[in-house]
Structure formats: structure tokens, C-alpha cells
Amino acid sequence: MSTSIGVWIAAFLTLGIMSFLYKDNPIYKFCEAVFVGVSAGYWFVVEFFNVFLPKVYDNVGIAVNVLLVQGRVDWFHWSYLLGGILGVLMLLRLVPKIGWISRWPLAVVVGTTAGLWLINYLVSNAMRQIQSTIIPLYVAGDLNATIGSIILVVGTFCGLIYFFFSKEHKGAFGGAAKIGIWFIMITFGASFGYTVMSRMSLLIARMDFLVGTWLGLIR
């Protein structure tokens, strides 16, 4: 059995969270509250040291330094001050009267997201996937590969037809959409089956901690 106080605390918290599986209880509530408090605090500290200090404080520091020492305006580093100002505008939400100003930084963030996602998804999800789907259906002398290619092309084609919204799924079109949903179901089933393993590994490692590290029952 472990003699480290840390291991004992960890074991208590592990069992506390697991007790939720039986039913909600005060020990779980306690662990949950600790979890919310500690993790909120963790990210608060991390954001301060990993984002605020290096991105705002350091960059503006460089900009000021360049200005004072070289008498030159370093636009690149000053631009981070603008980011800092946006951040402060966000905090104006705390002042109810002018809280609406916080919509400006929000608008900048949403505009950035819309612009970047439009391009990135069109390139990596649409263009490149279509590129990989345009393949010869027939591979000379390789029956396996031929069947594979046909399934790949037919599955992608019919799957996309399922996502047509402005046309009724009837007749041949509806048939293709039906095949499409089958492919989508196979995809979900396969990904689910593939995942089970992943989830089991997490539990194995946890039980290994309880039985091995904490209780010392296995070598």
C-alpha cells in the first residue's frame, strides 16, 4: 500500500468520481465541486502565464523598448496592444451601462472565425476529399482494389446525395440517398466499434493506479 499522501488523495478522488456510476451522492458532489474549482483555477493561471504575459505584456514591452531605445515605431509589436484593448473592452461587460461595447471584440472574434473556417474547410474538407475520390474504378488485375474503389466512390457519391435538402428524396434520387444513409450508418458503427478500445484503455490505466500504485497488489 502506498505511503504517499498524494496517492491517497488521488485514490479518494478517483473512487469519489466513480461512485457516480452507482448514483449521485455527497462524495461525488464534493469531488465535483473540487473539480470545478480546481480546474477553473488551473485554466485561469494557465491563461495568465501562457497567453497574457507572453502575448500582451512581452510584446508591448518590446514595442515600448524599441520606441524608447531606437526611437522607432514597431508596428508589429504594437498591434498586440490593440489585442489587449479588445480584451479590456470585453471586460466592460462588468459595467452594465456600457456593457454593449463588449460586442465589438466579440464581432472581431466571430468575423475571424467565419473567414478562416470558410477557407480552411473548403480546402481541406471539400477540395482535397474530392481530389482523393476521383480515382480509377478499375484496377487492372486487382479485384480487391477494384471493389474497394467502387465502394469508395459510390459511398461518397450516395452519402452526399443524402445531404441534399432542397430536393425530395424520391425515386432513383431517394434510392441513392437511402444507400447514402447506409454508408453513413456503417461509418458510425465502425467508428463506434473502433472507439470502445480507447475508452477501455482509460479505465484500465485507472484501475491499474488503484490496484497497483495505491493498494500495491500487483507488481
Partner 1 sequence: MRREVPLIITGIVGITLIISYFIPHTPFNLLQDLFTDWYQIVAAFAIILGILNLLRISLDKVYKKKKGWFFGLVVVLSFFFIVIPGFFFSGGRGFQNPGTPFFWIYFYIYIPLMSTMFALLAFFVASASYRAFRARNKEATMLLLAAFFVMLGRVPIGYYLSSWLPESYQLATVADWIMNFPQTAGQRAIMIGIALGIVSSSLRVILGLERAYIGGE
Partner 2 sequence: MKFFDRLLAIDRRIIFLFVIIAVTLPLFSKATLHIEVSPMVKAVYDAVDNLPPGSKVLVSFDYDPASAPELQPMALSFFRHCFSKDLKVVIIGLWPQGPVQANIALEDVFRDPEIKAKNLKYGVDYVNLGYMAGNEVVIQSMGSNIHTTFPADYTGNRTSELPLMKGIKNFDNIDFIYNLSAGYPGTMEWVQFAVDRFQAKLGAGNTAVQAPGMYPYIPEQLVGVLGGMKGGAEYEIIAKRPARAVSYMLSQGVSHAVIIFFIIIGNLAFFVTRGKKKTS
Partner 3 sequence: MRIFRTLRLENKRINYILVFLLFIFSLFILTPALAQVDKSVTTLWEDTLPPSPPAEVKAKDTPNDAGGSITITWTKSLDDSTGRNNVIGYEILRSTSVDGEFELVGNTTAGAQQFMDTDTKDKVEYFYKIKAVTQVLSSVSLPSQPAISTQQWFNTDRINILIAVLIISFSILYFIRRARAGKKLYVRKIAGLEAVSDAVGRATEMGKKIFFVPGIQDMNNMMTIAGITILGKVAQLTAQYETRLEVPTSRSMVMVSCRETVKEAYTNVGRPDAYNDDMVYYLTDDQFGFSAAVAGLFVREKPATIFLQGHFFAESLILAETGNSIGAIQIAGTAALAQLPFFVAACDYTLIGEEFFAASAYLSEDPKLLGSIKGQDVGKFIFLLAILIGVILITAGIYDLSKFFAT
Asked if 16 and 30 count as a contact pair (C-beta separation under 8 A), the reply is yes
Residue 207 binds partner 2, judged by CB under 8 A: yes
25 contact choice in partner 2, partner 3, partner 1, none (CB below 5 to 8 Å, kind-dependent): none
Q: Restricting to residues 101-120, name those near partner 2 by CB under 8 A.
A: 120
C-alpha cell at 111: 468575423
Residue 206 binds partner 3, judged by CB under 8 A: no
Q: Restricting to residues 107-146, name those near partner 3 by CB under 8 A.
A: 109-110, 112-114, 117-119, 122-124, 126-128, 130-138
Q: What is the per-residue binding string for partner 3 in 74-113, x denoting contact by CB under 8 A?
A: ----------------x--x--------xx--x--xx-xx
Mark the segment that binds partner 2 (CB under 8 A) among 103-111, 126-134, 139-147, 160-168: 126-134
For residue 150, the minimal CB distance to partner 1 (Å) is: 9
Interface with partner 1 (CB under 8 A), residue from 129, 136, 138, 216: 129
Contact residues for partner 3 (CB under 8 A)? Answer: 17, 20, 24, 28-29, 31-32, 35-36, 38-40, 42-43, 90, 93, 102-103, 106, 109-110, 112-114, 117-119, 122-124, 126-128, 130-138, 153, 156-157, 160-161, 163-169, 184, 187-189, 191-192, 195
